[in-house]
Amino acid sequence: MIGKIVGALAGKKLAGRTPGMSATGGLVLGAAATSLLKRVGPFGLAAALVGSYLIKRNHVRKAGAGRVSIAR
């Protein structure tokens, strides 16, 4: 139970930084994430982190934000 409370508070804090997400949504997402983490285990967590990183990297590449020009 304490883990769900901590997860909910972390979700609320994350929702404050995410545009378009309410604090209540962050609370629910954080509480659900703790339950999901128990089910998938450490390998599932690692797979989710790698997948999220790859999706973000692909999105940044398509947006063109990853290209930096150096003036000489």
The contacts of residue 29 (CB under 8 Å, 6+ apart) are 11, 14, 15
The contacts of residue 33 (CB under 8 Å, 6+ apart) are 7, 11
Per-residue confidence at 19, pLDDT binned at 50, 70, 90?
confident
Whether the pLDDT of residue 68 is over 60: the answer is no
How many whole angstroms separate alpha carbon 48 and alpha carbon 33? 12
Whether the pLDDT of residue 72 is over 60: the answer is no
pLDDT of residue 50: 92
Which of the two residues, 65 and 7, has the higher pLDDT score?
A: 7
Supply the pTM of this predicted model: 0.50
